Structure 1
Amino acid sequence: MNVNHFEIDCELKSAFFENAYSPFVILDREMNFVDINQASVDTIGIEKENFIGKNILDIFPYLEGTKRYDDYKNVIETGVPIGFDELFFKGEFSEYTFMIRAFKIGDHLGITTLDVTNVIDTVQKLKTTKASLVEVNENLKKKNQELEDFSFVAAHDLRAPLTNLKSLLRMALESNLPANEVMPIVEKMNVVTKVMCDKITALNMVIATKANFGAPKTTLEFSDVIGKLKTSYSKEIIECRTIIKEDYSACPSINYNKLQLETILQTLISNALQYRHPKRKLNIKIETKEVNGKVQLSFRDNGLGFEQEFSDKIFSLFKRLHTHVDGLGVALYIMKTIIGENCGEIDVTSQVNKGTEFIIIF
């Protein structure tokens, strides 16, 4: 029996067309559907009989007037195939991303597709993972630099009193002075020891603060937190005849860690009371508002103030601009560390004998 090779060839092509995994369609010169395979039906969710004879714009009206539609028409006219990458399509049950190849087949237009949804998703996940790794790496660099700076400052500020203590101890041990004449040396040793203990206490405060990073946040009312602090400092507030004006109407609350917010506001109030001007009543104004979707708090006083050129240095560990009151020089450092850890910002402006204003973007 003779076998017609043309018929076999057509049967093979038809079988391949119908059973292909990806959607294939054939359109005539007027862009009407001539045939579609089963994968197209499954993807688009429209029965085959509802496709055949319909114009492409009946099924995909959004193509009208687009460059892609004109390119399809141009393929039929010129016979030059064209490809499109990452075309998005929303089917009946799923969303897909396709690569599309349009080519001339006889007098018709053939369009074949390749579903690259999983590939695109994988690439996007890899990009996201890479971005996350970059962010983690930058955070690690930042943490390492902070640790290095912290270690340097800690070692530097403890070295001086320790060296002083060793020198005084050697003087006491090597001297032949009577016990009563050694006492001044011992008293100096006691002062130096206290300095060291105070610095170690300050370092422990910093470490404890850092250990609290990552603690859960909750919605807090500014009036409640400030009210609690005013009660704690009621004695000082009364003695200084302090006037505190508050306005939280524009932004009454914030989502923040309770201990951290209390530490920030306590530092501001404590510093205002400590560094008040001795010749006038202390006035404090606290105001909140929303700026670009973030909470902004301004805290202004009319205290001693300082030269604006020192505005960055006041946040350094163990840095103190006024020494007439006791202090460890660590509170502002801790405050800025907390704000920075929460991706916030802090700015300060000040004038000598006029006062200081802190602006915090949480």
Structure 2
Amino acid sequence: MAKIDGEYDKELRGAFFNMAYSPFVILNKDLNFVDINQAALNTIKIKREDFIGRNLLDFFPYLKENERYQLYKNVLVTGKSIGFDEVSFHTDNGVLKFMIKAFKIGDYLGMSTLDVTSLTNTIDQLKAAKINLQTVNDNLKRKNQELEEFSYVAAHDLRSPLTNIHSLLDMLQSDNSISEKGMPVFEKVQQVAKQMCDKLRALNSVIALKTTLDDKIEIINFSAIVSKVKSIHIEEIVQTRTIIKEDFVHAPTIDYNLKQMESILQNLISNAIKYRNPNRKSVIFIKTSLVQGKLVLTVKDNGLGFDKTTPPEKIFGLFKRMHTHVEGLGVGLYVTHSMITNNGGEISVKSELNKGTEFKIIF
């Protein structure tokens, strides 16, 4: 290539033009190509002799009716560079897409380009995948809603006949219609009917809770919530002489849903009271802390505890119970786990038989 105004010598050409990874071209004032580097030749799969001397419109005829052609010429007049984010170049092997920067170099127009074909194709694929994922997500939400509605209707519809059965059994008992020999079996049937009624009632409560809780977030004071929970259980606390120690110095408040936070602390504190160790004074520690920028709530007791090898699915499963000597359905921890994880948090538990249990929640 000839020198451009004496500045474009062969040494600079070799260093900054032909050795570049990105495609470069140079055009004259008529926008005819006067040079092209090896990267450009490799990218568009063209021979140098088929390129040099031809006009820009030979390769991009649509530019004739496009303001971009004139903008390129304006660069030679004003000396101000311009750029375009995505320019298509049609080849026998498909469409290539480039980012282009046009600038004045001597009396010539230089164009540096960046091949973004793979990038734009990837973006298009990601967009398509996002649309498909959104469709799948919408379908899953709809199916989940249908399942919840079905569960609620099924549980509600089953509750009525079971309640009737329970009432009929009571009538049979009050009328002395059961023989002495049949009484043991009758009593077992009564127990089963009561258990089924209780479980259906609990299941309805769980479904109702999950479907009716709103997403309202507000500033919640931990001390106020714990005081409310203590007032609910004041009789049990006094009778069992349970001591509840609180430490909210490091994180006194949290932005959360009030009803959900009340439910979480209610379940954890009531469980700690319910499963206390009768051989020692019951003590419950409740504290908050900040760990790596996240708020952590810890509820620890010195109660009965349970086998530390118990898997999480049993601890937090619906109708799963660690102890059966007191009344309960195994719903509280399931609801607590659901609310915390649905809000993007984590709940873990450490326990040991006759030593106590510690729940740790990371919000």
Using the size of structure 1 for normalisation, the TM-score is 0.61
Provide the residue aligned with 1:95 in structure 2: none
Match of 2:294 in 1: 294
Match in the other structure for 1:263:
263
The secondary structure found in structure 1 opposite 2:309 is helix
- Quick check: 1:21 aligned with 2:20? no
Letter in 2 for 1:220: I
Partner residue of 2:133? Answer: 134
Query: Structure 1 residue 236 and structure 2 residue 282: aligned?
Result: no
1:240 partner letter = T
Give the corresponding residue for 1:309: 309
Distance across 2 between alignment mates of 1:139 and 1:293: 33
| Secondary structure of the structure 2 residue equivalent to 1:280 | coil
**Equivalent position SS for 1:188:** helix
1:323 is the counterpart of 2:324: yes
The residue identity in structure 1 corresponding to 2:262 is E
Q: Secondary structure in 2 aligned to 1:295?
A: strand
Within 5 Å, give how 1:244-255 maps onto structure 2: 244-255=244-255
Change (3 A) 1:178 1:351: closer
Counterpart Cα distance in 2 of 1:197 and 1:300: 33
- Counterpart check, 1:277 vs 2:270: no
* Compared CA separation, residues 133 and 276, structure 1 to 2 (3 A): farther
The whole-number CA distance in structure 2 between the counterparts of 1:23 and 1:112 is 16
Matched residue SS, 1:298: strand
Residue 207 of structure 2 aligns with which residue?
Answer: 207
Q: Distance in 2 between matches of 1:288 and 1:136?
A: 40
Return the offset for 1:229: 0.6
How far apart, in 2, do the equivalents of 1:127 and 1:309 lie?
A: 43
CA distance in 1, matches of 2:301, 2:274: 11
- Report what 1:334 is aligned to: 335
Range with bigger deviation, 134-143 or 195-204: 134-143
In structure 1, what is the Cα distance between the partners aligned to 2:214 and 2:135? Answer: 15
Structure 1 contact 213–341 (Cα < 8 Å) conserved: no
Structure 1 gaps of 5+ residues are: 1-8, 27-35, 41-47, 61-83, 88-97
Matching of residues 32-111 of structure 1 within 5 Å: 37=74, 51-52=78-79, 99-100=99-100, 108-111=108-111
SS at match of 2:330: coil
Letter of the structure 2 residue corresponding to residue 286 of structure 1: I
Q: Which stretch of the first structure deviates more once superposed, 337-346 or 211-220?
A: 211-220
The runs of 5 or more residues in structure 2 that have no matched partner are 1-28, 33-54, 56-60, 88-97
| Kept after mapping to 2: 8 A contact 1:311/1:349 | no
Question: 1:11–1:285: structure 2 CA closer, same or farther, 3 Å change rule?
Answer: closer
Moved more, 348-357 or 137-146: 137-146
How much has 1:187 moved relative to structure 2? 3.3
The CA RMSD measured in Å over matched residues stands at 4.8
Deviation for aligned residue 1:128:
6.1
- Tell me the number of residue pairs that the alignment of Structure 1 and Structure 2 aligns: 277
Q: Structure 1, residues 99-151: CA drift from partner, whole Å, max 9, x if none?
A: 2166999962333899x9xx98x996984684475367468659968969x97
After superposition, the Cα gap between the structure-2 partners of 1:136 and 1:262, relative to the gap in structure 1 and judged at 3 Å, is: farther
Structure 1 Cα separation of the partners of residues 302 and 222 of structure 2: 22
Letter in 2 for 1:22: R
Partner amino acid for 1:192? V
After superposition, the Cα gap between the structure-2 partners of 1:239 and 1:345, relative to the gap in structure 1 and judged at 3 Å, is: same
Moved more, 289-298 or 220-229: 289-298
Residue 256 of structure 1 and its aligned partner are, at CA, apart by: 1.4
For residue 310 of structure 1, give the secondary structure of its aligned residue in structure 2.
coil
Q: 1:307-357: per-residue Cα shift (whole Å, max 9, x none)? A: 011141111111112111000111111111111111111100001000000
Cα separation, 2, equivalents of 1:183 and 1:232: 39
CA offsets 1:241-276 (integer angstroms, 9 cap, x no match):
122111112211112111111111100000000000
- 1:356 matched to which residue of 2? 357
Give the 3 Å change call, closer, same or farther, for CA 335–144 of structure 1 in structure 2: farther
2:218 is matched with 218
